[in-house]
Structure 1
């Protein structure tokens, strides 16, 4: 692990002082939209939804792998993984409006998000399911060293010594920005998206300046279902989970669940949404 701008990263050619520094200092535009999420909390699902809102579900048929997804929805700190040029050089050529994705915490994300008050979309997920999905990702992603065991990974997650750092601090610090700038920020919870897709996506569309019809919402729901994305996206196993909630009930012990819940209550009560993190 390396520590860059106060954040832990796995040692890869993407997560370096140069790439994180270029992302932090990125020049942004007034109509840029940033999707921010901690890893394994519904990011790829939300990307597909946002692209369908911006274009249509026919457009999604062209998004068949990680490179295509990154081309239309730039993964800022991993640009060098997909393309042979620095992030600031690549995005400068992109036409507006641009959609950007990042997992970076406040202290490492593009500083102009806050300084110039850019529009942001956030997706959150309860940490007990996030840790299970993150552990699976560690094993499926060949660029990341796998943990010794599931139990050791859970302890690393609790201590914040995993890729992208402490989950609770990530959520806590971004929620300070959300609560201070409600007109600039839209957020939703993975669990609520599973239960009421239409309401959440309709509200997301309004925030982005789109007014999806009932017919378009139905098309988006079908096109971004787990089954549909599994058939379309070649990177499905690595980047998309099973679309489930409360899988932790079968995977985590009562003691670990209690430890997670205590930390969530201690760290996230000030967000105003702690109950949503405890589902």
Structure 2
């Protein structure tokens, strides 16, 4: 009997000390030859921090709020995911080659693995940061449904691995801090997920200003409405239900699960929260980044 390659649950592979999904690790070498275009825009986040949300917002901005244009393809085809690789699916770089300018690009990579050309050519970046407790809960659920990740194990062990930087993409702490520092010498709009939940219209206006674009008020309102969590969860072009079930099992957990701030309270025990808070205070000491744990 011929053995078919099993894509599910390979162990993480370290690249320059950063653990990555096996197939994504294989993409890092070719990615270093990326040639950016002058009007490229990079969306950067640590996983589970609002990447798909911002991707949808930006695609709507780029198309003047015209819904039918934003339904032309799934979000992962409209906004190429640079380091994405998976057997049998076009890679991020292959998708990028098919993407007309002006291009939106997406990455979760820490700075050490990012193609230097993006930094050297001062490609504009929108970075979204989300509080670590909500990130780790969302990430645990994502690990369970997205089978390119290793088995997440118990919630308690996953939480410890997250704190130790032993999950895919490494340390959340390092990621949010190094991109925060980079804004001093690179064109970065640094946004917070909690601010976007609190007042999406205000944050979308910051994006428009950063891009040097303007849209009529009613178009901005339309974008707010159609990029709401409820609308995106219902939309097959943004909810990842078009991905094969052997890669993402929506029966385990939907890709767009809750999309709220403060959901960590439903998962953390009191002891886990105390342990996390002590570790967080130590790891983030001396950093002026401030996060909100709930709204």
Other-structure match for 1:38: 46
CA contact (8 A) 1:135 1:153 kept: yes
Other-structure match for 1:261: 277
TM-superposed CA distance for 1:16, in Å, is: 3.0
Other-structure match for 1:249: 265
TM-superposed CA distance for 1:266, in Å, is: 3.3
Superposition TM-score, scaled by structure 2 size: 0.83
Other-structure match for 1:10: 21
Between 1:92-101 and 1:47-56, the stretch displaced more is 92-101
User: Are 1:112 and 2:117 matched, yes or no?
Assistant: yes
Question: How is 1:183-262 mapped onto 2 (pairs within 5 angstroms)?
Answer: 184-233=187-236, 234-235=239-240, 238-262=254-278
CA contact (8 A) 2:77 2:95 kept: no
User: Are 1:22 and 2:37 matched, yes or no?
Assistant: no
Structure 1 runs of 4+ with >6 Å offset: none
Other-structure match for 1:62: 71
Between 1:41-50 and 1:205-214, the stretch displaced more is 205-214
In the aligned structure 1, how far is the partner of 2:255 from the partner of 2:200?
Answer: 20
In the aligned structure 2, how far is the partner of 1:60 from the partner of 1:261?
Answer: 44
CA contact (8 A) 2:108 2:169 kept: yes
Consecutive unaligned residues of structure 2, counting only runs of 5 or more, are 1-11, 242-249
Q: CA RMSD in A?
A: 2.2
Partner-residue secondary structure (3-state), 1:217: helix
Counterparts in 2 of 1:23 and 1:57: CA distance versus 1, 3 Å: same
Partner-residue secondary structure (3-state), 2:183: helix
User: Are 1:47 and 2:55 matched, yes or no?
Assistant: yes
In the aligned structure 2, how far is the partner of 1:230 from the partner of 1:93?
Answer: 26
Partner-residue secondary structure (3-state), 2:28: helix
TM-superposed CA distance for 1:269, in Å, is: 4.7
Between 1:123-132 and 1:226-235, the stretch displaced more is 226-235
TM-superposed CA distance for 1:90, in Å, is: 4.8
Aligned residues: 269
Consecutive unaligned residues of structure 1, counting only runs of 5 or more, are none
Superposition TM-score, scaled by structure 1 size: 0.88
Counterparts in 2 of 1:36 and 1:85: CA distance versus 1, 3 Å: closer
CA contact (8 A) 1:137 1:239 kept: yes
Between 1:261-270 and 1:35-44, the stretch displaced more is 261-270
TM-superposed CA distance for 1:133, in Å, is: 0.3
Deviations for 1:96-123, whole angstroms, at most 9, x for unmatched residues?
2111000000001121222221100000
TM-superposed CA distance for 1:216, in Å, is: 1.2
In the aligned structure 2, how far is the partner of 1:215 from the partner of 1:207?
Answer: 20
In the aligned structure 2, how far is the partner of 1:117 from the partner of 1:86?
Answer: 21
Counterparts in 2 of 1:195 and 1:61: CA distance versus 1, 3 Å: same
User: Are 1:153 and 2:141 matched, yes or no?
Assistant: no
